[in-house]
Amino acid sequence: MSTSVPQEILDALTRVDMPAVPALSGNPETVEVAGMRLPLYRCGMAVIGSGAAGLRAAVEAKRRGMDVLVCSMSLFGGTSACSGSDKQTLHTAGTARTGDDFRKLAQAIGGGGCMDLDTAYIEAVGSINALAGLQYLGLPLPQDRFGAVLRYQTDHDEVGRATSCGPRTSRLMVKVLCEEALRLGIPFLRKAEAVRIITRGEGDQRRAIGAVLIDQERRDEHWGLSVVLCDALVLASGGPGELYRDSVYPRHCYGSLGMAIEAGIEVTNLSESQFGIGTRRTEFPWNLSGTYVQVIPYIYSEDDEGNEYNFLADYYRTTRELCSNIFRKGYQWPFHATRMEDFGSSLVDLAIFRESQQGRTIKMDFLRNPLPGADGVPFSLENLDDDVRSYLENNDALQGTPLARLQRMNPLAIELYRMHGHDVATDPLPFNVSNQHMNGGIAVDQWNESSLPGCFAVGEVAGTHGVTRPGGSALNAGQVGGLRVASHCAARGCAVPEDLPHTLFDAAVQECIGIITQALEASETTPTTAVVRDEIQARMSDHAGFICHIADLPPALAAAQDLRQRVLAGEMRITRASQAVDVFRWRHLALTSEAVLANIAHYVREGGGSRGARAYLADDGEVVIHTRHGPLQDVCYRPEQPEHKEYKITLRWTGDDFIITHNPLRAIEPLQGIFFEKHWSDYLTDRVHAPGYQHQ
Ligand SMILES: Cc1cc2nc3c(=O)[nH]c(=O)nc-3n(C[C@H](O)[C@H](O)[C@H](O)COP(=O)(O)OP(=O)(O)OC[C@H]3O[C@@H](n4cnc5c(N)ncnc54)[C@H](O)[C@@H]3O)c2cc1C
């Protein structure tokens, strides 16, 4: 930043207070199930989750006249409200200077493969509306004097389409959307977690009609069990952040992927996720992307005795190469297997992984420039690759220390850690490589409807991304998804269900009661939810992390299957009634963990190789990673086959196993065939919403 910014402005962008959300007024309708009188809520659209995606869906639906209820496990507890990075990124069509080309933007969004082509184009075009709506609600996106939004380059984006309000962009999005929801009078269940989807009908007639909730604000009465009935059930519950031990998600992100799997909803691309460097959940989970690394801090490791290791010097050949790749982690933040080759930026992730395996702690020091690399040449701002040098030069960031450069480029990044009890101006930051995002999720059509009619998915729980995604496109996808669901439900009608007989939900509620009772009555030798959690998280981090040994997969999958069988059979214990909701969380995550492993194992069995999420290592792996000492014989990976980019692996739970299929990517008809007069009536009559509609 070329002008120093007053503290109160920095504070407003980092200490973001959220609006007070009132409890529902009045007493709800009640219904008797198994001798228990439970609250029953009816609405046109029930939105499960109050992150940026869910709130966008709720606000857009309410504006279109729908009766909306938001049910959230934790109002401001999801990833949008609690996560970020140096400049948390929103990726939309470029609006500055020369504008953008939506087809090229769609190519960037889906460039890694395995993404439906219509979805990529929808997210590209929809990004304009997504952004404008947020600006209208007051999201403080920086602009130049002409009103053009300031932009920069992000991961998997060669053009520079990213923008940001600072470290807390998504929290600010949640704030402005929640304020709008309150202005519109949208009611909230503030601590209500969906634990089971309620359906009616069989076969092709089966559709979602609501959910069983556990409402922590009423947990003294029958564990908080409640029922919501709706015409459209919108899952907006974020990613399964608790799946991995090494995770940079905020705590308590369980999501509803497992609940959807249990309901037999198709899920897709579960093998695709993102891993990258960040501070640990044991301290403060936060991404170390962008300026944190672009200022080129000294990265080292420390053993238990306090000995320090300049370990990156064992990987890169020169100081210049080492420093330039630390910088590149700024906009090549997520791990990508191919970037380990040729001394690329993901060699940093591999080096950190190997160093951690030796029990050492990795640290980032902003007070020191990197120590000399293998060639012994001291660090110098004159001795950097051209792209690195020019970036620092363009941003007036040629100060003597990483801290001074960070102070210059992004003081908010320093402020943020200070706010969370860590002063990077005095103490190095411990960090590691963690799981950060689920690219796959619930398979949805172009209006975000899942394979279960009436059940939609938006935001991270929707499996709309492919193998890679530009940084900031997750937030964009959630906004566009919210808009699409609202416009689709408005077009097809979304009425409050007044007359559903309660035989339709009796069975679902009684099953939930049975599951809770069984867990409460389980013997003392039965594993607790904490034991189940530790087993799942350790297995996922150790065997399905970004460095994944192919030989480990079959036993890991078998163990995950075994655990899921035991958990679903009721072998999981809670000790207090207030823990009732944990039984569902870990039941669902046991299922999710098996689904992810089943997807990965299947992909690898089909000859699938290393790409965005993971490097798949094998003794006979064709690609050997080199460090400056030569080939790493234990890091031989199997490369990706180009044809594997052309389909998505989709899973459906049958009740005791997964059916796995390969789905070709949805294509788009030629865009040059779309004309105003020709297609206007299709819009006016809502034909564009008809199943399978294409512009003729
Ligand atoms: C450290 C970090 C940095 C990131 N940086 C970026 C970035 O720069 N750009 C970008 O685009 N993306 C980024 N992401 C990803 C992005 O933040 C998320 O994908 C996005 O915020 C998800 O939004 P969401 O609305 O889908 O879910 P969330 O924001 O996670 O909201 C989910 C909501 O659902 C509730 N909920 C969960 N389960 C249930 C249930 N069963 N019943 C009821 N309620 C439930 C939660 O309490 C919460 O309110 C980052 C992620 C992390 C972890």
> 510-648: which CATH number, 2.40.40.20, 1.20.58.100, 3.40.50.300, 3.30.1600.10?
1.20.58.100
138 CA from centroid of ligand 1 (Å): 21
Other CB atoms within 10 Å distance of the CB of residue 444: 27
Yes or no: say if 23 and 217 are a contact pair by the CB < 8 Å rule.
yes
| Residues paired with 278 in a beta bridge | 287, 432
Rounded to a whole number, what is the largest CA-CA distance in the chain? 78
Q: Which atom of ligand 1 is nearest to the CA of 241?
A: 53
Yes or no: say if 494 and 44 are a contact pair by the CB < 8 Å rule.
yes
Domain boundaries, given as residue ranges, for the chain: 276-436, 510-648
Yes or no: say if 235 and 223 are a contact pair by the CB < 8 Å rule.
no
Residue 50: what residue type? S
- Give the pLDDT band of residue 13 (cuts 50, 70, 90): confident
The token pair at 533 is: 């959690």
The answer to whether the Cα torsion of 443, 444, 450, 451 is positive or negative is negative
467 CA from centroid of ligand 1 (Å): 19
Q: To test ligand 1's pocket by mutation, which of 473, 475, 582, 589 has the most ligand atoms within 8 angstroms of CB?
A: 475
Instruction: Give the separation between CA 330 and CA 352, rounded to whole angstroms.
Output: 16
Tell me: pLDDT of 2 over 60: no
pLDDT of residue 154: 83
631 CA from centroid of ligand 1 (Å): 39
Yes or no: say if 336 and 468 are a contact pair by the CB < 8 Å rule.
yes
DSSP string, 625-655: EEETTEEEEEEEEPBPPGGGGGEEEEEEE-S
Instruction: List, in sequence order, the alpha helices (H) in 544-675.
Output: 553-568, 580-605
In this structure, the residue with its CA closest to atom 20 of ligand 1 is 80
Give the global pTM: 0.97
Rg (CA), the chain: 25
Q: Which atom of ligand 1 is nearest to the CA of 195?
A: 41
Instruction: Give the separation between CA 468 and CA 339, rounded to whole angstroms.
Output: 13
In this structure, the residue with its CA closest to atom 48 of ligand 1 is 78
Q: Which atom of ligand 1 is nearest to the CA of 238?
A: 27
14 CA from centroid of ligand 1 (Å): 18
Q: Which whole-number Å values give the CA distances from 180 to 136, 184, 439, 490, 623, in the listed order?
A: 10, 6, 28, 19, 52
Q: What is the pLDDT of residues 17-74, one digit of tens each?
A: 999 999 999 999 999 999 999 999 999 999 999 999 999 999 999 999 999 999 999 9
> How do 267-268 and 441-442 pair as beta strands?
antiparallel
Exposed/middle/buried for 523, CB within 10 Å: 0-12, 13-18, 19+?
exposed
Q: What is the pLDDT of residues 337-346, one digit of tens each?
A: 999 999 999 9
pLDDT of residue 1: 58
Q: What is the pLDDT of residues 110-133, one digit of tens each?
A: 999 999 999 999 999 999 999 999
Q: Which atom of ligand 1 is nearest to the CA of 461?
A: 26
**Helix (H), strand (E) at residue 163:** strand 162-164
Higher pLDDT, 182 or 96: 182
pLDDT of residue 321: 98
Rounded to the nearest 10°, the torsion over CA 244, 249, 253, 259 is -50
Q: To test ligand 1's pocket by mutation, which of 86, 171, 237 has the most ligand atoms within 8 angstroms of CB?
A: 237
Other CB atoms within 10 Å distance of the CB of residue 219: 17
Other CB atoms within 10 Å distance of the CB of residue 96: 17
572 CA from centroid of ligand 1 (Å): 27
3-state helix, strand, coil split of the chain in percent (to 5) is 40, 20, 40
Q: What is the pLDDT of residues 450-488, one digit of tens each?
A: 999 999 999 999 999 999 999 899 999 999 999 999 999
Q: Which atom of ligand 1 is nearest to the CA of 252?
A: 47
| Residues paired with 30 in a beta bridge | 39
Instruction: Give the separation between CA 465 and CA 121, rounded to whole angstroms.
Output: 12
Q: To test ligand 1's pocket by mutation, which of 76, 80, 176 has the most ligand atoms within 8 angstroms of CB?
A: 80
Q: What is the pLDDT of residues 415-448, one digit of tens each?
A: 889 988 999 999 999 999 999 999 999 999 999 9
254 contact partners, CB below 8 Å, separation of at least 6: 73, 237, 240, 241, 242, 585, 588, 589
562 CA from centroid of ligand 1 (Å): 30
Residues touching ligand 1 (Cβ under 6 Å) are: 48-54, 71-74, 77-80, 83-85, 88-89, 170, 193-194, 236-239, 248-249, 253-256, 278, 285-287, 436-437, 459-460, 471-475, 478
Q: What is the pLDDT of residues 479-523, one digit of tens each?
A: 999 999 999 999 999 999 988 888 899 999 999 999 999 999 999
Tell me: pLDDT of 386 over 70: yes
216 CA from centroid of ligand 1 (Å): 20
